[in-house]
Amino acid sequence: MADLQRLAIASEQIDRQKVVLTIEQQHYLRRVLRLGVGERFIVMDGEGKWWLAKLTPDIFGKTELTAVLEQEILIQNELSIELTLISALPKGNNFDEVVRQSTELGVTHILPVISSRTLLKPSSQKLRRWEKIASEAAEQSERQVVPKIRETVEYSVALSLFENQNFSTNCHKYICVARNNYPLLLDNLLDNQKLESIIIATGPEGGWTNGEIEAAIASGFQAVSLGKRILRAVTAPLVALSLVAAVLERRKA
């Protein structure tokens, strides 16, 4: 089934064994993927389930096409823990790539934040765009879960959100800091054998301010380094998440 196309849908689109396709999804299947009636593809609900589906005409006439679920597909491509990225928004449209590549690497939650040095103030339409990018990236990377993207908040609000939640003792929170003598993130990950969830914060162009670093540490985050080189705001999340994914995949293997 590796050669079959994949389509991410909302779980509420499933009605018994039928998938109610949106106009946009019908166009995507017919015009972009070039699937014809009777052809099969994979449906994923973004919450962990996959099905083999067949494209069929809608006998009730509500839409042109629908899909029939033929069988559930058992697959496990997800990382073994929940992985949350707190990312200060980079300039321009660069956060699009952060969302896309973070999804490919296995992140489960993304929280964009506005820090002291953030230049971008996103519009409300940005969230819908990022959700669409995450959905497309989950399809492409054969994930079972589409990451949840939260509304953009101020940095201080983000810290309070995670400070007040009742995390287990095996939840590890890291803030990545450049130009420092903090321990390497990789070393810390390798030293922690029991990881149930991870939260990683990466900063904006110019990095976190000293006050932001101190506030994170006071909220239970551990300051870590990604290495001696200075990484761009769009590169740091990918490096951090790649390290986490590599460690978790190695343990799983």
Kindly report the number of other CB atoms within 10 A of residue 36's CB atom. Answer: 8
Residue 240 and residue 226: Cα distance in Å, rounded?
7
Choose which CATH entry (3.40.718.10, 3.40.50.1100, 3.40.1280.10, 3.10.400.10) describes domain 82-252.
Answer: 3.40.1280.10
* Residue whose C-alpha is closest to residue 44's, from 24, 63, 69, 23: 69
- The pLDDT value recorded for residue 1 is 58
Q: Residues 133, 138, 141, 143: what is their CA dihedral angle, to the nearest 10 degrees?
A: 170
The per-residue pLDDT for range 213-231, each reduced to its tens digit, is: 999 999 999 999 999 999 9
Mean residue pLDDT across the chain: 90
Strand partners, 231: none
Taking alpha carbons only, the member of 182, 180, 236, 177 closest to residue 212 is: 177
Q: Rounded CA gap, 67 and 37, in Å?
A: 9
CB atoms within 10 A of CB 233: 23
- pLDDT of the residue at 40: 93
Which residues pair with residue 84 across a beta bridge? 109, 199
Asked if 155 and 117 count as a contact pair (C-beta separation under 8 A), the reply is no
Angle at 30 between CA 27 and CA 32, to 5 degrees: 75
**Contact between residue 142 and residue 77 where contact means Cβ atoms under 8 Å apart:** yes
- Spatial contact of 85 and 200, defined as CB atoms under 8 Å apart: yes
The predicted pLDDT at position 52 comes to: 94
Location of each CATH 3.40.1280.10 domain in the chain: 82-252
pLDDT given for residue 166 in this prediction: 46
* Torsion angles phi and psi, residue 178, rounded to 5: -90, 165
**Where in the chain do CATH 2.40.240.20 domains reside?**
6-73
* Low-confidence stretches of the chain (pLDDT beneath 50): 166
pLDDT at 15: 87
CB 18 within 8 A of CB 66: yes
* CATH number, span 6-73: 2.40.240.20
| pLDDT at residue 179, as a whole number | 87
Structural contact between residues 90 and 233, judged by C-beta atoms closer than 8 angstroms: yes
Question: In sequence order, what E strands does 89-196 have?
Answer: 109-114, 148-149, 153-154, 171-176
